[in-house]
A and B are shown apart, each in its own frame.
Chain A
Amino acid sequence: MGRAFKLGDGVSTDAIIPGRYNVTTDLSALGKACLIEARPDFAATVRSGDVIVAGRNFGCGSSREHAPLAIQASGVKAVVASSFARIFYRNAVNIGLPVIQCDALFEAVEDGDTIDVDVRTGNISAAGRTFQAEPPAAVALKIMQAGTLVDLIKTGGWAAIEEV
């Protein structure tokens, strides 16, 4: 159970973490700079279990993995968006940040609403309703089940993905 932080359409990786804040690999520094200009109150108020709810093309722009890492380090449980930019989605899956596509949620949820996301089943409860997320593609599911891409390849090489 957490609160929804509602963002709009086209949230870029520059908005998630501006370039000048990602000259580091320190996760807590990345987490503190998450949404620092787009949503200045975010890092100070976010609590473990909260959920980012966004519109279309979430994570567009740069390939920087600092963006999903910053979100993950902030304590956010999952990002639910109407659609994701390809590279961001792949990066998030690779590092084990739950990213969930659900077009219907965005209009139904207000900022600050209580929200509960079951990242395993894609079942979302919010605003007194339930929503079912789109199931992830086969490769994404394999990586999610393993935890991270590194975990998947370390345990079985590319075989798991070649079988998809």
Chain B
Amino acid sequence: MGTLTEEIFSRRLGRRVRAGDTIVAPVDYAMSHDVTTPLAIEAFRKMEMPLWDPERVVLVFDHILPANTVAAAGLHKLIREFAEEHGVVHLFQEGICHLLMVEKGFARPGGIIVGADSHSTTYGALGCFAAGMGSTDIGVVFATGRTWFRVPQTIRIELHGSLPEGVYPKDLALRVIKRLGAEGANYLAVEWGGEAVAAMTIDQRLTLANLTVDFGGKAGLCEPDEVTRDYLGEAEVSDLQPRDPEYLQRVELDAAEVEPQIACPPAIDNVKDLSAVEGLQLDEVFIGSCANGRLEDLAIVARYFEGRQVHPRTRTMVVPGSKKIYMEALKAGYIESFMRAGAIVMNAGCGPCLGRQHGVLAPGERALSTSNRNYPGRMGSANAEIYLASPAVAAASALAGAIADPRRVI
């Protein structure tokens, strides 16, 4: 009985769990990456306990890969030594942690995963309860296999209708963030439903679940369905669905009425219709990230770039989200079209999103990114501007050298 969140925790604990309950629950996997693992290791060591399960700890190098400073290399070395010492099985350096958790089959309908990264909400697209936490929480999971949750109440977001040409899940998510504000779902779970979600691919749903944390959500879930089953390549998936759920709030949005959206500086909830800022010149365009670095995202960009050139004033970087996506994009010819168009293609990982490795912005510069964070200083100088939009808007804008409406390009 209850919301997807209540159903998942009730099944796991074998008793009825309701929103508001404080519970201690076992998790399927604990994930951390190259920036958050070192502090998780410190917390784990203080526990003076053996590693709970070397097959259920997932460590990913993605935020600073390959290491760009001696300090970063030192942290990587520390993580490798920890993995070696404890026999950690899942150690990856082939893409963004959140994409790998899905690709490698760790995220499952009805599962419970915690990650030392806020965008761990991403796996909710498969009907998994997945929440971001800090390093200490994850280090304690490394030792005990469990963590505590205050079972959250849920906001149900119904996306009606179908997506118009040139409008994508990123636009719907930004529209919702505009309505609810940056802390609209703080401490709450979000369920994404309605016919627009039912019609979406898993790649598209992953974008919605990913952006859930950017308006405060603890988890962002889609109920598993035929699309989920086909994606997982299995005859049967969980029968998980909300049963007589009581929602804290319902939000209705007609996808057909949504125009391309753009989150303007200085915060994710400063969302405008694209037309309000069209024509602003851009120094950089970044296409990638855990929000929009998947194969379908790259396919959209390739369609715009084919036979065209990015504007010379706009350095354009494409970062496939994982090695698998990179190789599929190679086979499909997308990578060649990016390079012929004049874009820089980088190795799979987090790329310029967090301003720590490459693609860093100078004071006074303006960037458009398909990622999920536009706080001042996120991608470099605190005096640079970051705009967030869909891959289609990013592609059209890279070609124009300025913020542009993709509906007018093709």
A contact set with B: CB distance below 8 Å: 10, 12, 14-15, 18-20, 22-25, 37-38, 56-57, 60-66, 68-69, 83, 85-87, 90-91, 94-95, 137-139, 148-150, 153-154, 157-158, 161-162, 164
Contacts and interface: CB of A to CB of B under 8 A. Distances in A.
A164 B22 contact: yes
Contact of B134 (A14, A38, A90): A90
Interface in B68-105: 69, 71-72, 75
A91 B378 CA distance: 20
Contacts, number: 134
12 contacts: A23-B35, A37-B377, A57-B182, A61-B118, A62-B118, A63-B120, A65-B134, A65-B136, A137-B150, A138-B22, A153-B140, A154-B46
A18 B75 CA distance: 18
A135 B116 CA distance: 27
Interface stretch (B36-44, B255-263, B322-330): B36-44
Given A23-B35, A23-B356, A90 B375 contact: no
A88 B116 CA distance: 12
Interface of B: 22, 24, 35-36, 38-39, 42-43, 46-48, 64, 69, 71-72, 75, 116-118, 120, 132-137, 139-140, 143-144, 146, 148, 150, 182-183, 186-187, 216, 218, 267, 354-356, 373, 375-378, 382
B188 to A, nearest CB: 9
B47 A154 contact: yes
A61 B148 contact: no
Contacts of A62: 117-118, 354, 373
A65 B38 CA distance: 11
Question: Which of A24, A63, A148, A162 neighbours the largest number of chain B CB atoms within 10 Å of its CB?
Answer: A63
Given A14-B378, A19-B356, A90-B134, A25 B38 contact: yes
B64 A23 contact: yes
Nearest to B213: A87
A92 to B, nearest CB: 9
Contacts of B150: 137, 139
Contact of A60 (B48, B143, B216): B216
A148 B136 contact: yes
Question: Which of B36, B69, B186, B267 neighbours the largest number of chain A CB atoms within 10 Å of its CB?
Answer: B186
Given A25-B42, A56-B183, A87-B132, A61 B375 contact: yes
B355 A162 contact: no
B116 A63 contact: yes
A60 to B, nearest CB: 6
Given A19-B354, A23-B64, A10 B267 contact: yes
A23 B75 contact: yes
Contacts of A153: 47, 140, 143-144
B355 A20 contact: yes
A92 B299 CA distance: 41
A6 B331 CA distance: 54
Nearest to B41: A25
B118 A87 contact: yes
A154 B48 contact: yes
A10 to B, nearest CB: 6
B135 A65 contact: yes
A139 B21 CA distance: 11
A111 B209 CA distance: 38
A23 B72 contact: yes
A83 B382 contact: no
B150 to A, nearest CB: 7
Nearest to A83: B183
Contacts of B354: 19, 62
A153 B349 CA distance: 34
A63 B118 contact: yes
A19 B64 CA distance: 11
Contacts of B216: 57, 60, 85-86
A81 B81 CA distance: 39
A61 B373 contact: yes
A68 B356 CA distance: 20
Contacts of A38: 376-377, 382
A19 to B, nearest CB: 4
Given A37-B382, A154-B47, A22 B134 contact: no
B140 A149 contact: yes
A155 B354 CA distance: 37
B24 A161 contact: yes
Given A63-B36, A63-B117, 14 more contacts: A14-B376, A23-B72, A25-B38, A61-B118, A62-B117, A63-B132, A65-B134, A69-B39, A86-B218, A137-B150, A149-B137, A150-B43, A157-B144, A158-B146
